[in-house]
């Protein structure tokens, strides 16, 4: 019985290690407040680290997806869909006392156990959390109609400011005017998956307008598989070599 328990424990550790190894290598950005670390996880899920604080964005995939990452100090959720709002993953993670920044529609769907942890932001709302200035950005489909998959005002993209850097997380959106009018963005994460958001041509056109220094295509699995992010990179780089397009494997083999 003891040997069986030991073997089960060893197998569990090996399984968690295998899960952790599937994560892409993190990137590091220098800021005036120290290193800012970007860890892609999968699809629309990522973890940002600043001053030893870990910000989970749209955590999905269960606790095992974060086996190699310290527990969150802050959680950002963009929308009500299951690839962004995953209550099973939230319940599996150690989130006791952790603030969750969410749009109102998400707050209404979260279980009662999380209600006291919520910071509810409507579009253009702002908050300071863990030394980071947060602004909720609109995210929606075009045209903006009542039956759109992502109507204006329901979900939030996020603009983060820390250490003199500005980081934009688009959420599920098309190349909306609010995105195109952004200024001085150091890092951006832009979705591109039809029919839910936009195609790579639309995404490239929007990125070329607001000119982030570094751009990560993310959330690029659609109804017909993965979007052609290599094409996206070529479209951006051919017209503006000052924009660095970083391609990461957001869909590691399971």
- Domains of the chain, by residue range, sit at 24-245
CB 69 within 8 A of CB 227: no
Lowest-pLDDT range of 2-11, 151-160, 196-205: 2-11
Q: State residue 147's pLDDT score.
A: 83
State how far the Cα of 233 lies from the Cα of 214, in Å rounded to an integer: 11
Residues 65, 136, 196, 219, CA torsion sign: negative
CB atoms under 10 Å from CB of 197, counted, come to 26
pLDDT tens digit string along 171-193?
999 999 999 999 999 999 999 99
Six-digit token pair at 24?
């892409």
The whole-chain average pLDDT of the chain stands at 92
Q: State residue 145's pLDDT score.
A: 87
Question: Shortest CA distance to 27 belongs to which of 49, 43, 55?
Answer: 49
Torsion of CA 85, 91, 95, 99, to 10 degrees: 40
Judge whether residue 4 has pLDDT over 90. Answer: no
Q: State residue 7's pLDDT score.
A: 35
Pairing mode, if any, of strands 244-245 and 214-218?
parallel
Six-digit token pair at 179?
């995105």
Q: State residue 252's pLDDT score.
A: 81
Judge whether residue 118 has pLDDT over 50. Answer: yes
* Residues facing residue 30 across a β-bridge: 35
Q: State residue 22's pLDDT score.
A: 80
Judge whether residue 15 has pLDDT over 60. Answer: no
Judge whether residue 1 has pLDDT over 70. Answer: no
Judge whether residue 20 has pLDDT over 90. Answer: no
CB atoms under 10 Å from CB of 83, counted, come to 18
Residues 114, 103, 186, 199, CA torsion sign: positive
* % of the chain beyond a pLDDT of 70: 91
Judge whether residue 254 has pLDDT over 70. Answer: no
pLDDT tens digit string along 67-85?
999 999 999 999 999 999 9
**Domain spanning 24-245: CATH superfamily:** Ribonuclease Z/Hydroxyacylglutathione hydrolase-like (3.60.15.10)
Judge whether residue 3 has pLDDT over 80. Answer: no
State how far the Cα of 82 lies from the Cα of 36, in Å rounded to an integer: 28
State how far the Cα of 133 lies from the Cα of 223, in Å rounded to an integer: 35
137 preceded by a cis bond (ω within 30 of 0): no
């Amino acid at each position: 019985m003891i040997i069986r328990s030991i073997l089960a424990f060893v197998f569990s550790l090996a399984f968690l290690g295998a899960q952790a190894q599937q994560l892409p290598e993190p990137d590091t950005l220098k800021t005036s407040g120290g290193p800012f670390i970007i860890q892609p996880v999968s699809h629309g899920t990522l973890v940002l680290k600043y001053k030893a604080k870990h910000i989970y964005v749209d955590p999905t995939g269960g606790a095992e997806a974060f086996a190699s990452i310290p527990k969150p100090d802050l959680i950002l959720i963009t929308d009500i869909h299951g690839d962004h709002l995953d209550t099973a993953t939230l319940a599996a993670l150690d989130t006791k006392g952790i603030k969750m920044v969410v749009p109102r529609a998400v707050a209404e769907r979260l279980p009662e156990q999380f209600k006291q942890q919520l910071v509810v932001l409507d579009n253009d709302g702002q908050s300071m959390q863990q030394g980071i200035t947060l602004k909720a950005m609109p995210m929606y489909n075009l045209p903006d109609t009542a039956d759109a998959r992502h109507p204006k005002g329901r979900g939030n993209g996020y603009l983060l400011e820390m250490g003199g850097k500005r980081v934009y997380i688009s959420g599920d959106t098309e190349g909306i005017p609010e995105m195109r009018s952004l200024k001085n963005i150091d890092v951006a994460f832009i979705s591109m998956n039809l029919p839910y958001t936009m195609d790579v041509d639309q995404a490239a056109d929007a990125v070329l307008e607001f000119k982030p220094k570094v751009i990560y295509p993310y959330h690029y699995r659609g109804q017909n598989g993965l979007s052609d992010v290599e094409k996206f990179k070529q479209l951006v780089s051919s017209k503006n070599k000052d924009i660095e397009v970083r391609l990461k494997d957001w869909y590691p083999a399971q």
